[in-house]
Amino acid sequence: MNYTLDSVEHAKQVLINETKLKIKDFTPVFITDLEELVTKQNRYYFGVLTLGNNVQTGILKYADNDLISCIANSQIIQLFQSLECIEDTEVESTSIYSFEGCFRGFEIVLG
């Protein structure tokens, strides 16, 4: 094996093996608006997701299934397809976006 389990090369190979599709586009991204991480056909994300103070729960999804839930002020390195955020209404946000946090990693598009 030429990669570790937390490498983007491993994530790409998993997607190719599972979907039988090829990598169409592979882009490093830094996303500060977590609402951009919605389900889009054949689009996946791999990297570090940071959830801010006003996110009560972040639910990462893969293949239309809930993969894992994360709490406020946490980070996770994960391959996922979309993110659903549940807002903590008791916390006042200072962000210009609905949900505080960011994603730093790669957007992988299959085709």
pLDDT in tens, 9-24: 999 999 999 999 999 9
Look at the chain and report how many structural domains it folds into.
1
pLDDT in tens, 90-102: 656 555 556 789 9
pLDDT in tens, 18-45: 999 999 999 999 999 898 998 899 999 9
Range of the domain at 19: 8-110
Which residues does 26 contact at the CB level (< 8 Å), separation at least 6?
A: 12, 106, 107, 108, 109
Q: Say how far apart CA 18 and CA 31 lie, in whole Å.
A: 26
Residue 2 lies in a domain: no
